[in-house]
């Protein structure tokens, strides 16, 4: 079992969609449920459609969805707004002496990152979490050959390091070419891989509006044996790599 800080704030971000942010966030919540912390999973989007609503979680995970839109009381129109991000403050523990601890996982949707940074830095919205001594870690999923996802890493790593540790999550669904990322960053940033073994498995990661983690696919009786075994391999791989990475950056002991 991972020995995590009492207070942990995890940001999963990349402005490029389809790189695995929501799947990775869901699997983090699944892993962290093994601890005795309160798990708050937050999805921030520019709209009102949320990937995390498609996943199922144990009672130990509390899901909060934040759309970056609000009704303008003057014009009566629905417009982009940072006001809803104030809901993050509700996740601060009211009593830190109970020993339970708190983990906040923020699944920052495509195009929501700049809004979160504007609120968190320019408007000092994340200051209460820093004052409460939360440990900050940012995970940046990137897909092989995706220049847009690589550009996010190249452009925003320095900014993310102002909060705390930064790690790459290499989504292997489309291969292993990450040459679009600056070589110095590839060499210096700790990383783990998100194994996604092609069509036989991906067919079972989503069913209608329901999404599944690797561990959930492995547990489904309606899934053929081969993809169930592949999903179980992916789940074990994820758990092992996450444990090693968190120890490497000093978040877990």
Q: Which domains does the chain have, with CATH numbers?
A: 7-197 (3.40.50.300)
**The pLDDT of residue 196:** 67
- CA–chain centroid gap for 235, Å, is 16
Residue 194: band (very low, low, confident or very high) from pLDDT cuts 50, 70, 90: confident
Mean pLDDT confidence for 50-79: 84
Query: Average pLDDT for residues 18-44, to the nearest whole number?
Result: 92
The residue ranges of DSSP E strands in 46-134, in sequence order, are: 61-67, 69-71, 78-80, 102-108
194: which 2 tokens?
Answer: 């998100």
pLDDT category at 108 given cuts 50, 70, 90 is: very high
pLDDT value for 176: 81
Q: Residues 227-242: pLDDT tens digits?
A: 899 999 999 999 999 9
CA atoms of 219 and 228, how far apart (whole Å) = 7
pLDDT digits 0-9 by tens, 125-182: 999 999 999 999 999 999 888 999 999 999 999 999 999 999 999 988 777 888 999 9
The yes-or-no verdict on residue 97 having pLDDT over 60 is no
Which of these, 104, 180, 194, lies nearest to 145 by C-alpha position? 180
Average pLDDT for residues 236-252, to the nearest whole number?
94
Cα dist from 130 to 35, 54, 136, 151, 189, whole Å:
22, 31, 8, 28, 23
> CA distances (Å), 86 to each of 106, 130, 174, in order?
14, 15, 37
Q: Cα dihedral angle (94, 11, 35, 23), rounded to 10 degrees?
A: 130
- pLDDT higher than 80, residue 199: no
> pLDDT-based confidence at 211, cuts 50/70/90?
very high
> For residue 101, is pLDDT > 90?
no
What is the torsion angle, in degrees rounded to the nearest 10, for the CA atoms of residue 249, residue 143, residue 117 and residue 132?
-30
């Amino acid at each position: 079992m991972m020995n995590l800080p009492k207070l942990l704030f995890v940001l999963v971000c990349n402005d490029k969609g389809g790189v695995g942010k929501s799947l990775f966030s869901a699997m983090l919540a699944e892993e962290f449920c093994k601890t005795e912390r309160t798990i708050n999973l937050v999805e921030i989007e520019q709209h009102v459609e949320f990937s995390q609503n498609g996943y199922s979680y144990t009672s130990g995970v509390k899901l909060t969805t934040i759309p970056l839109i609000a009704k303008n009381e003057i014009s009566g129109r629905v417009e982009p707004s940072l006001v809803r991000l104030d809901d993050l403050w509700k996740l601060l523990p009211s009593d830190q002496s109970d020993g339970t601890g708190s983990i906040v996982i923020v699944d920052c949707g495509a195009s929501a990152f700049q809004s979160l940074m504007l609120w968190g830095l320019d408007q000092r919205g994340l200051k209460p979490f820093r004052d409460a001594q939360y440990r900050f870690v940012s995970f940046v999923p990137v897909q092989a050959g995706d220049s847009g996802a690589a550009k996010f890493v190249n452009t925003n790593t320095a900014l993310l390091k102002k909060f705390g540790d930064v790690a790459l999550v290499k989504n292997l669904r489309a291969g292993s070419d990450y040459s679009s990322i600056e070589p110095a960053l590839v060499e210096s940033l700790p990383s783990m891989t998100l194994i996604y073994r092609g069509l036989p498995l991906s067919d079972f990661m989503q069913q209608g509006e329901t999404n599944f983690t690797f561990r959930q696919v492995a547990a489904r009786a309606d899934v053929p044996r081969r993809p169930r075994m592949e999903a179980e391999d992916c789940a074990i791989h994820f758990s092992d790599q996450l444990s090693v990475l968190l120890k490497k950056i000093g978040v877990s002991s």
